[in-house]
Amino acid sequence: MIGLINYGMGNMHSIAKALVRVGGNVRLVEKPDELKDVSRIVLPGVGAFRDCVGALQTNGLDEALKDEIGKGTPFLGICLGMQVLMSASFEFGRYQGLGLIPGVVKPFPDDFPSRGLKIPHMGWNDVTFSSGASPHPVLAPLAEQQVYYVHSYVCIPDNPEHILAACNYGDYPFASCIGRDNIVATQFHPEKSQRAGLAMLEAFLKWKP
Protein backbone atom coordinates (compact mmCIF):
# COMPACT_ATOMS: atom_id res chain seq x y z
CA MET A 1 0.00 0.00 0.00
CA ILE A 2 1.31 3.44 -1.01
CA GLY A 3 0.47 6.30 1.32
CA LEU A 4 -0.11 9.37 -0.88
CA ILE A 5 0.03 12.43 1.37
CA ASN A 6 -2.99 14.65 0.78
CA TYR A 7 -2.57 18.02 2.50
CA GLY A 8 -4.57 20.09 0.02
CA MET A 9 -1.76 21.32 -2.24
CA GLY A 10 -0.82 18.45 -4.55
CA ASN A 11 -2.29 17.17 -7.79
CA MET A 12 -3.61 14.02 -6.18
CA HIS A 13 -5.51 12.71 -9.19
CA SER A 14 -2.57 12.76 -11.60
CA ILE A 15 -0.03 11.16 -9.30
CA ALA A 16 -2.51 8.61 -7.95
CA LYS A 17 -3.48 7.62 -11.49
CA ALA A 18 0.18 7.26 -12.48
CA LEU A 19 0.98 5.09 -9.45
CA VAL A 20 -1.99 2.83 -10.11
CA ARG A 21 -1.00 2.54 -13.75
CA VAL A 22 2.38 1.06 -12.78
CA GLY A 23 0.83 -1.42 -10.37
CA GLY A 24 0.51 0.45 -7.10
CA ASN A 25 -2.34 0.41 -4.58
CA VAL A 26 -2.88 3.96 -3.35
CA ARG A 27 -4.36 5.34 -0.17
CA LEU A 28 -4.85 9.07 0.31
CA VAL A 29 -3.37 9.95 3.70
CA GLU A 30 -4.72 12.96 5.59
CA LYS A 31 -4.05 11.92 9.21
CA PRO A 32 -0.98 10.43 10.92
CA ASP A 33 -2.64 7.14 11.87
CA GLU A 34 -3.32 6.44 8.19
CA LEU A 35 0.42 5.99 7.67
CA LYS A 36 0.84 3.11 10.08
CA ASP A 37 0.43 0.22 7.66
CA VAL A 38 1.67 1.69 4.38
CA SER A 39 4.74 0.17 2.72
CA ARG A 40 5.75 3.31 0.79
CA ILE A 41 5.08 7.04 1.04
CA VAL A 42 4.74 9.65 -1.71
CA LEU A 43 4.64 13.39 -0.95
CA PRO A 44 3.66 15.47 -4.01
CA GLY A 45 3.18 19.20 -4.02
CA VAL A 46 2.66 22.44 -5.85
CA GLY A 47 2.47 25.95 -4.40
CA ALA A 48 4.33 27.75 -1.62
CA PHE A 49 6.80 26.15 0.79
CA ARG A 50 5.39 27.96 3.85
CA ASP A 51 1.84 26.80 3.12
CA CYS A 52 2.93 23.23 2.52
CA VAL A 53 4.87 22.92 5.77
CA GLY A 54 2.05 24.68 7.63
CA ALA A 55 -0.53 22.23 6.30
CA LEU A 56 1.62 19.24 7.27
CA GLN A 57 2.09 20.66 10.77
CA THR A 58 -1.61 21.39 11.19
CA ASN A 59 -2.47 17.78 10.43
CA GLY A 60 0.40 16.36 12.46
CA LEU A 61 1.83 14.82 9.33
CA ASP A 62 5.23 16.49 9.69
CA GLU A 63 6.24 14.41 12.71
CA ALA A 64 4.45 11.33 11.38
CA LEU A 65 6.49 11.51 8.18
CA LYS A 66 9.73 11.84 10.13
CA ASP A 67 8.80 8.83 12.24
CA GLU A 68 7.94 6.61 9.26
CA ILE A 69 11.00 7.65 7.29
CA GLY A 70 13.08 7.01 10.40
CA LYS A 71 11.71 3.46 10.46
CA GLY A 72 12.99 2.89 6.92
CA THR A 73 9.79 3.25 4.90
CA PRO A 74 10.71 4.09 1.27
CA PHE A 75 9.81 7.73 0.56
CA LEU A 76 9.38 9.68 -2.67
CA GLY A 77 9.07 13.49 -2.68
CA ILE A 78 7.93 15.30 -5.82
CA CYS A 79 8.61 18.98 -6.64
CA LEU A 80 7.50 20.93 -3.55
CA GLY A 81 7.48 17.55 -1.79
CA MET A 82 11.24 17.50 -2.45
CA GLN A 83 11.84 21.06 -1.27
CA VAL A 84 10.13 20.63 2.12
CA LEU A 85 12.66 17.91 2.98
CA MET A 86 15.31 20.61 3.34
CA SER A 87 16.22 22.51 6.50
CA ALA A 88 14.84 25.85 5.34
CA SER A 89 13.48 27.80 2.37
CA PHE A 90 13.94 31.44 1.38
CA GLU A 91 10.67 31.58 -0.55
CA PHE A 92 8.86 34.80 0.54
CA GLY A 93 10.89 34.96 3.75
CA ARG A 94 12.68 32.24 5.66
CA TYR A 95 10.78 29.15 6.77
CA GLN A 96 11.84 25.92 8.42
CA GLY A 97 11.45 22.66 6.53
CA LEU A 98 11.36 19.08 7.75
CA GLY A 99 15.15 18.97 8.03
CA LEU A 100 15.44 15.44 6.66
CA ILE A 101 18.10 16.53 4.18
CA PRO A 102 20.28 19.39 5.49
CA GLY A 103 20.39 22.38 3.17
CA VAL A 104 18.30 25.24 1.87
CA VAL A 105 15.87 26.14 -0.90
CA LYS A 106 16.69 29.30 -2.87
CA PRO A 107 15.37 31.02 -6.00
CA PHE A 108 17.03 30.98 -9.39
CA PRO A 109 19.40 33.95 -9.85
CA ASP A 110 17.76 37.37 -10.02
CA ASP A 111 19.25 38.18 -13.40
CA PHE A 112 17.60 35.27 -15.22
CA PRO A 113 14.73 37.31 -16.76
CA SER A 114 17.13 39.97 -18.08
CA ARG A 115 19.12 37.17 -19.72
CA GLY A 116 16.04 35.74 -21.41
CA LEU A 117 15.62 32.84 -18.98
CA LYS A 118 12.00 32.72 -17.89
CA ILE A 119 10.93 31.98 -14.34
CA PRO A 120 9.53 29.50 -13.54
CA HIS A 121 11.74 27.00 -15.28
CA MET A 122 9.04 25.10 -17.11
CA GLY A 123 9.13 22.33 -19.68
CA TRP A 124 11.24 19.37 -20.70
CA ASN A 125 14.85 19.14 -19.59
CA ASP A 126 17.56 16.66 -18.70
CA VAL A 127 18.45 14.43 -15.77
CA THR A 128 22.24 14.11 -15.55
CA PHE A 129 23.96 11.57 -13.33
CA SER A 130 27.44 11.99 -11.89
CA SER A 131 30.07 10.57 -14.21
CA GLY A 132 31.55 7.31 -13.00
CA ALA A 133 28.76 6.65 -10.50
CA SER A 134 25.93 4.17 -10.92
CA PRO A 135 22.50 5.85 -11.06
CA HIS A 136 20.22 5.50 -8.06
CA PRO A 137 18.00 2.43 -8.66
CA VAL A 138 14.82 4.54 -8.67
CA LEU A 139 16.32 6.99 -11.17
CA ALA A 140 18.07 4.52 -13.48
CA PRO A 141 15.13 4.44 -15.97
CA LEU A 142 15.72 8.17 -16.61
CA ALA A 143 19.12 7.67 -18.26
CA GLU A 144 19.25 9.68 -21.50
CA GLN A 145 15.62 10.74 -21.00
CA GLN A 146 14.02 14.14 -20.47
CA VAL A 147 11.45 14.95 -17.81
CA TYR A 148 9.00 17.76 -17.09
CA TYR A 149 9.89 20.60 -14.72
CA VAL A 150 7.84 23.46 -13.26
CA HIS A 151 9.65 25.38 -10.50
CA SER A 152 11.09 28.74 -9.47
CA TYR A 153 13.21 27.53 -6.53
CA VAL A 154 16.00 24.98 -6.23
CA CYS A 155 17.36 22.74 -3.48
CA ILE A 156 20.95 23.24 -2.33
CA PRO A 157 21.94 20.34 -0.03
CA ASP A 158 24.80 20.87 2.42
CA ASN A 159 26.23 17.48 1.47
CA PRO A 160 26.93 17.13 -2.28
CA GLU A 161 26.50 13.36 -1.92
CA HIS A 162 22.79 13.98 -1.36
CA ILE A 163 22.51 15.24 -4.96
CA LEU A 164 21.55 12.14 -6.95
CA ALA A 165 21.19 13.88 -10.32
CA ALA A 166 21.45 17.39 -11.74
CA CYS A 167 20.06 19.57 -14.50
CA ASN A 168 21.15 22.84 -16.14
CA TYR A 169 18.84 25.76 -16.80
CA GLY A 170 20.87 28.06 -18.98
CA ASP A 171 24.33 27.99 -17.43
CA TYR A 172 22.98 27.34 -13.93
CA PRO A 173 23.25 23.77 -12.55
CA PHE A 174 20.73 22.67 -9.95
CA ALA A 175 19.72 19.49 -8.13
CA SER A 176 17.24 17.53 -10.19
CA CYS A 177 17.04 14.70 -7.64
CA ILE A 178 18.18 14.39 -4.05
CA GLY A 179 18.13 11.62 -1.49
CA ARG A 180 19.77 9.47 1.15
CA ASP A 181 19.06 6.06 2.67
CA ASN A 182 15.33 5.38 2.07
CA ILE A 183 14.59 8.89 0.74
CA VAL A 184 14.51 9.85 -2.93
CA ALA A 185 13.02 13.06 -4.29
CA THR A 186 12.66 14.77 -7.66
CA GLN A 187 12.35 18.42 -8.63
CA PHE A 188 10.52 17.36 -11.80
CA HIS A 189 7.08 15.78 -12.04
CA PRO A 190 7.27 12.08 -12.94
CA GLU A 191 3.48 11.97 -13.39
CA LYS A 192 3.85 14.55 -16.19
CA SER A 193 6.94 12.95 -17.73
CA GLN A 194 5.21 10.32 -19.84
CA ARG A 195 6.96 6.95 -20.25
CA ALA A 196 10.15 7.99 -18.48
CA GLY A 197 8.20 9.18 -15.45
CA LEU A 198 6.08 6.05 -15.30
CA ALA A 199 9.19 3.88 -15.51
CA MET A 200 10.69 5.82 -12.61
CA LEU A 201 7.54 5.37 -10.50
CA GLU A 202 7.57 1.66 -11.25
CA ALA A 203 11.20 1.50 -10.12
CA PHE A 204 10.20 3.25 -6.88
CA LEU A 205 7.58 0.56 -6.22
CA LYS A 206 10.26 -2.14 -6.63
CA TRP A 207 12.97 -0.31 -4.68
CA LYS A 208 14.32 -2.04 -1.59
CA PRO A 209 16.61 0.45 0.18
Residue 152 · residue 107 · CB < 8 Å:
yes
Residue 74 makes CB contacts below 8 A (sequence gap 6+) with 39, 40, 41, 182, 184, 204, 207, 208, 209
Residues 52, 79, 167, 177: which is the catalytic one? 79
Q: Is 189 a catalytic residue?
A: yes
Residues 121, 151, 162, 189: which is the catalytic one? 189
Q: Can you tell me the distance from the alpha carbon of 56 to that of 50, in angstroms, rounded to the nearest whole number?
A: 10
Residues 91, 162, 177, 191: which is the catalytic one? 191
Q: Can you tell me the distance from the alpha carbon of 132 to that of 67, in angstroms, rounded to the nearest whole number?
A: 34
Q: Is 191 a catalytic residue?
A: yes
Q: Can you tell me the distance from the alpha carbon of 139 to that of 3, in angstroms, rounded to the nearest whole number?
A: 20
Kindly list the catalytic residues.
79, 189, 191
